[in-house]
Amino acid sequence: MEERLHPSTAQHLIAPIALLFALAALPPQDLVEDLCVDCHRGTGAEAGFDLQALLGRETLASGLFDWRRARAMVESGAMPPPSGPEDPGGLDDGERAEILGFLDGIESQALELGGHPGHEGARRLTRAELGNALQEILGSKVAIEDLMPEELVANNGFEASPDTLLVHPTWLARAAAAVRLTLDAALPNEGPTSIDPLDPDLGALIRSAFRRPVTDDELARYRGALTDRRMAGASPRESLRATLVQILASPHFLLRLEDSTAATDGEARPVSAHGLASRLSFLVWVGPPDAELLDLADSGRLLDPAVLDAQLARLLADPRALRFGRSFAGQWLGTRSLGTRVKPDPIDVAFMTDSVMADMRDEVARFLLELFRADLPLDELLLGEFSYVTRELAEFYGLEDPATFPAGAPTRVAAMPAQRRGLLTKAGVLATTAYPDRTSPVLRGAWILDDLLGTPPPPPPPDAGELDEELFEEAEEPGLRGALAAHRRQPSCASCHARIDPLGFALEGYDQFGRARTHDWDGEPVDARGELPDGTSFAGPDGLAAALLRNRRSDLAREIARRFLRYSLGRPLAWQDERAVVELSQALRDGGFGALLRATVASRPFRWIEPR
Amino acid sequence: MKPLPNPSRRRFLRGASATLALPYLEALAPRDAAIPTRAIWLYFPNGVAEGSWKPRWNARTGGLTALHPTMDPLARHRQHLVVPRGLYTPRGNGHGAGTATWLTGGEWEHRELDAGGASVDQIAGEALGGDCIVPALTLSARGEGHFSTDLPRNTLSWNRSGRPVFRETDPRAVFQLLFGSEASADSSLLDSLREQVAQLEGRVSATDRARLQEYLQAIRGLERRVAFAQKEETVRRLSRATELGFDFDPRVPPAAIPSDHGDYLDLMLDLVALALWPGASRVASMMLDHGQSNRYATFVPGVQGTWHAVSHWRDTSGKTEDDDGVTSWKDRRTKRAMYDAIVTWHHARVARFLDRLAALPEGGGTLLDHSVVVYGSSISDGHEHGESNLPLLVAGGGGGAIRGGRVLDQGDEISMSRLHLATLQVLGLPAGRFAEADSPLDLA
């Protein structure tokens, strides 16, 4: 295997993990061939899942994510299917141990051979990044949401992805229009301007737009353009405006090119100081680096670990870090759809105002941000007593004396009531994972399995059947719990829903808007008991939180690390990144969220690129 | 100023064509080699209730006798329609994968965001639309509810590098792109941007070179606006469009997205017609909604619930995981009628669009004569997520290459890629293969 390691991997010290797994030999794959390949083979493979091709790869770990799909099917008992009427399907204990051993071996191989840096390439700015950058550079702000289209999402709901962020004529035409409108606000004919048209510091403007030092040629070219316009009789304001359009429609501004030059394809190299400055600021501020960061990049001092740490702390303490809280929470947890996709009828549900939904989103964002700012331990995500509540949200939650909360801005509450502690009880999360007029233990359970634990349930089989009225009538227990119990009795549904539903049941004490309740939609008393697949039983959100932290701690830490790394890199993760994920999750478990951030910024995928 | 036919006039025309029973050769467009053939793909989500696409036809001649009653709005274009039966997409189907691969004929890889290659519209646009502002225009209605920003459900078009081409949902942005003036006036700006790309290209990685190429292509598109806007023919056709009854003036940008959903779709489709007629685009695709529309279809009289929920018409409890928990239905018959009504309502939009194409004169015929319009969905019965016999039809004369008024009943399991191949050939491209298809559907 040694020759498969890229030379540069050896320079980077992830020695402890590499040593741990270096000797791990892959267990035999015979059983997979015997039990699975018959159906999962070639172009006509069942479910389009060609295991034969995966087994034929030189490096099995390169199919890591597909193997995890296989693991989910095996662990749930859905695969292998019954071979005949007498066969219940699934695996016996011996087979199960052997197959899981084989799959564990692939996980180990991924850690052993992984660690190559990726290359996300010069993607364009997202809508949010463009708006923040224009504000930063020009000192004026326009409502970018009205000017640019909402980004499409893929890969677990993250929008910044080099695969999806295309520059095409409509986008460019819109970006140019946004630039012009922001310039109109920055350079008004009357009243104060944020840039002096008579004496603009063109060098500083270009530097902050291009996020790197300006070459003499560039400065001369733009100065020349400005002078030419003035000579041609344009007003100082008009000349500056036209020159700034030229700068802000440039690929150096619209695309992340600050660390793209001097590329030698296929050769890993450290991210440059300016590349790092941008990576930091786009992570924490969802926008470009400020002058201080650029100064430290110019001098190279940013690469000094102590300086880098101090900068990270500075960025995080800055009010702009709230953008990170909003962006990461919205994309990871899905709360950004509250108020748009999730939008209760304003007449029927008068209390779900746009403003209270914004407060709910913000509560989750500020809660997450404090975890990072205060370097709080993993447990605080699910148990944290503090929160950020506006007057309207205090009324919604039924807190005592809501009138004492200032209107508008949220107030930090050190200890929320028992039923409002931790992420799982935040209205933003509860309302996002429900249907408009009722709760869904399935949605909430699947959300926990996917977004928090990284073990999404496989999609329902084609013959899954529906939760239809007959099920409600046949059910032995009343209401949704009874119908879901009946659904789970169908063999094709049982294996997955036994994992999904009980997690959601623990949150039945909250309605579809996130209000606490004692009776469900059918008037039945809430039954918030549930259990983990391993048999651990619990009740209510605090019971669920404790059970997750105790029994699924490793999955939880891994998935948070995975989502955070994916957010930080702005690209989907590859199997080679799993090594960093393991390191980062360890940092989170040993330290806290601040440690996770610092470890991410120090990690190989964040600090190295391999241009392609 | 000649207004478009009003409803009563439409009824009269429909009656007239039925009594006259024209031999279809007369309905064929005059061939005019100088006039380019355009292609338009119109996609609708969630399929149609089983049977509601089935026409009546003469088994011997293949002549289309009558469309299904739910397709009544399209009946006035019957002589211009070919209804192919038995088409399916062998490599994937449904709301997500089916949408993403509807025009590629490929397989959807969700992790790689790979739809199996370039889509037919992009292939055609690239080959034929060299002097267009946007060779292949990609539009969609803006989604509501679940999946409104989900990539596979919102992407029909994939470029030559296999990257998703963003669909535009804002008519104001489409207008600015095609007919906007400010940016196009500043050609020195575009020169400077092109120069910057040229200086960078030699110094960056292969991936980044490809990204810069995308940027450059976008710049070229904006550049072509200058020449396009100044062309005499452009000016003439755009001012003529107003006289021909277009509801908006191509010289004045729309103020906002119309609040009425029908007005919104009509405006977007008008923009398609106005992009194609003077040559701002050569081909276009328009999603009448994203691939799993959860829009409340209450804009259609008598309908309750979301389009997707209604499409699962065999379940009326209102309590499935597809439901909103608020809406339920009396019985299957009622719910199916609502499902049909939603689809019929969209047929009316498409019929109006075909009216538009037929109202724009070109050579001895109309834009409809010189167009091939593919209209359909990636699902057959919505409740079953049906995969076979997809609801599809072809409209337009294809520049003389399409013989309308027919049903193609040539068996089951005919890959939709054969339709894409046929469309490319109608456009005059020397394509011998599309995805796995090497023989085109016979549209002539």
pLDDT tens for A205-222 read: 999 999 999 999 999 999
Cα separation, B117 vs B114, in Å, equals 7
Q: Is the pLDDT of residue A469 over 70?
A: no
- Chains A–B, number of C-beta pairs less than 8 Å apart: 190
pLDDT at site A9:
38
Q: Tell me which residue in A246, A249, A260 faces B208 most closely, judged by beta carbons.
A: A260
Q: Which residues of A touch B221 (CB under 8 A)?
A: 168-169, 172
Q: Is the pLDDT of residue A480 over 60?
A: yes
Query: Residue B113 in contact with residue B164, Cβ under 8 Å?
Result: yes
Mean pLDDT across A455-477: 63
pLDDT at site B373:
98
Burial class (CB in 10 A: 0-12, 13-18, 19+), B410: middle
Are residues B214 and A166, on separate chains, in Cβ contact within 8 Å? yes
Are residues A612 and B111, on separate chains, in Cβ contact within 8 Å? no
Residue listed under structure tokens 């290359």: A119
First-residue to last-residue Cα distance in chain A: 23
Are residues B204 and A442, on separate chains, in Cβ contact within 8 Å? no
Q: Is the pLDDT of residue A16 over 70?
A: no
Are residues B154 and A152, on separate chains, in Cβ contact within 8 Å? yes
Q: Is the pLDDT of residue A23 over 70?
A: no
Are residues B211 and A121, on separate chains, in Cβ contact within 8 Å? yes
Q: What sign for the dihedral angle of Cα B181, B182, B183, B186? A: positive
- Residue A47, chain B, CB below 8 Å: the answer is no
pLDDT at site A305:
94
Cα separation, A240 vs A253, in Å, equals 17
- Specify the DSSP class assigned to residue A453: T
Q: Which residues of A touch B155 (CB under 8 A)?
A: 152
The length of chain A in residues reads: 612
Query: Residue A561 in contact with residue A588, Cβ under 8 Å?
Result: yes
CB atoms inside a 10 Å sphere around CB B39 = 25
Are residues B107 and A48, on separate chains, in Cβ contact within 8 Å? yes
Q: Which residues of A touch B215 (CB under 8 A)?
A: 124, 167, 172, 251, 254-255
Instruction: Tell me the residues of chain A between 277 and 336 that have a Cβ less than 8 Å away from chain B.
Output: none
Q: CA of B386: which chain A residue's CA is closest?
A: A462
- Residue A494, chain B, CB below 8 Å: the answer is no
Are residues A169 and B324, on separate chains, in Cβ contact within 8 Å? no
Burial class (CB in 10 A: 0-12, 13-18, 19+), A362: buried
The closest of A595, A571, A572 to A585, measured between CA atoms, is A595
Lookup: tokens for A456 = 């999404």
- Specify the DSSP class assigned to residue B405: S
Are residues A469 and B111, on separate chains, in Cβ contact within 8 Å? no
A31 φ, ψ (degrees, to nearest 5): -65, -35
Burial class (CB in 10 A: 0-12, 13-18, 19+), A521: middle
- Residue A49, chain B, CB below 8 Å: the answer is no
Q: CA of B201: which chain A residue's CA is closest?
A: A261
- Give B33 to chain A, closest Cα distance, Å: 30
pLDDT at site B5:
39
Residue listed under structure tokens 């109006």: B352
Q: CA of A575: which chain B residue's CA is closest?
A: B111
Instruction: Tell me the residues of chain A between 559 and 588 that have a Cβ less than 8 Å away from chain B.
Output: 572
Are residues B149 and A151, on separate chains, in Cβ contact within 8 Å? yes
Cα separation, A424 vs A445, in Å, equals 11
- Residue A173, chain B, CB below 8 Å: the answer is yes
Query: Residue B113 in contact with residue B151, Cβ under 8 Å?
Result: yes
Report CA A507 to chain centroid distance, whole Å: 23
Query: Residue B211 in contact with residue B251, Cβ under 8 Å?
Result: no
Torsion of CA A136, A140, A143, A145, to 10 degrees: -20
What is the DSSP pairing of strand A387-389 with strand A411-413? Answer: antiparallel
Strands ordered across the beta sheet of B81-84: B136-140, B283-287, B38-43, B371-376, B392-395, B81-84, B406-408
First-residue to last-residue Cα distance in chain B: 35
A412 φ, ψ (degrees, to nearest 5): -80, 125
Mean pLDDT across A114-138: 91
Q: Tell me which residue in B107, B203, B222 faces A173 most closely, judged by beta carbons.
A: B222
Q: Is the pLDDT of residue A148 over 90?
A: yes
| Residue of A152, A216, A229 to mutate when probing chain B, most B C-beta within 10 A | A152
Residue type, B335: K
Q: Which residues of A touch B316 (CB under 8 A)?
A: 469
pLDDT tens for B236-251 read: 888 888 888 787 677 7
Q: Tell me which residue in B146, B207, B316 faces A612 most closely, judged by beta carbons.
A: B207
pLDDT tens for A50-106 read: 888 899 898 999 999 989 988 888 887 778 887 777 777 778 888 888 889 999 999
Predicted TM-score (pTM) of the model is 0.89
- Find the radius of gyration of the CA atoms of chain A: 27
Give how far Cα A432 sits from Cα of A81, A338, A421, A428, A438, Å: 35, 6, 17, 6, 12
CB atoms inside a 10 Å sphere around CB B2 = 8
Cα separation, B267 vs B253, in Å, equals 11
Are residues A260 and B319, on separate chains, in Cβ contact within 8 Å? no
- Residue A181, chain B, CB below 8 Å: the answer is no
- Specify the DSSP class assigned to residue B406: E
For A129-189, the three-class secondary structure string (H helix, E strand, C coil) is HHHHHHHHHHCCCCCHHHCCCCCCEECCCECCCCCCCCCCHHHHHHHHHHHHHHHHHHCCC
Query: Residue B153 in contact with residue B237, Cβ under 8 Å?
Result: no
Beta-bridge partner residues of B366: B361
pLDDT tens for A433-462 read: 988 778 888 889 999 999 999 988 877 665
- Find the radius of gyration of the CA atoms of chain B: 21
- Give A214 to chain B, closest Cα distance, Å: 13
Low-confidence residues of chain B, pLDDT below 50?
Answer: 1-30, 183-184
* Per-position b or e across A406-417, b if 16+ CB within 10 A of its CB: eeeebeebeebe
For B15-75, the three-class secondary structure string (H helix, E strand, C coil) is HHHHHHCCCHHHHCCCCCCCCCCEEEEEECCCCCCCCCCCCEECCCCCEEEECCHHHHHHH
Q: CA of A221: which chain B residue's CA is closest?
A: B192
Q: Is the pLDDT of residue A467 over 60?
A: no
pLDDT at site B267:
94
- Give A344 to chain B, closest Cα distance, Å: 10
* Averaged pLDDT score across all residues of chain A: 87
Q: Tell me which residue in B189, B208, B321 faces A245 most closely, judged by beta carbons.
A: B189
Q: CA of A168: which chain B residue's CA is closest?
A: B218
- Residue A474, chain B, CB below 8 Å: the answer is no
pLDDT at site B245:
77
Q: Tell me which residue in B150, B214, B316 faces A153 most closely, judged by beta carbons.
A: B150
Lookup: tokens for A610 = 């391999």
Q: Up-side HSE of residue B151: CA atoms within 13 Å toward CB?
A: 27
The length of chain B in residues reads: 444
Cα separation, A76 vs B48, in Å, equals 35
Query: Residue B121 in contact with residue B157, Cβ under 8 Å?
Result: yes
Mean pLDDT across A335-352: 81
pLDDT at site B30:
47
Are residues B200 and A65, on separate chains, in Cβ contact within 8 Å? no
Instruction: Please name the helix (run of DSSP H) or strand (run of DSSP E) that holds residue B376, with its range, or none.
Output: strand B371-376
Mean pLDDT across A309-323: 97
Q: Which residues of B touch A221 (CB under 8 A)?
A: 192
Beta-bridge partner residues of A270: A608
Mean pLDDT across A241-248: 94
CB atoms inside a 10 Å sphere around CB B19 = 6
Mean pLDDT across A318-336: 95
Q: CA of B212: which chain A residue's CA is closest?
A: A251
Lookup: tokens for B442 = 């016979």
Query: Residue B172 in contact with residue B142, Cβ under 8 Å?
Result: no
pLDDT tens for A558-588 read: 999 999 999 999 999 999 999 999 999 999 9
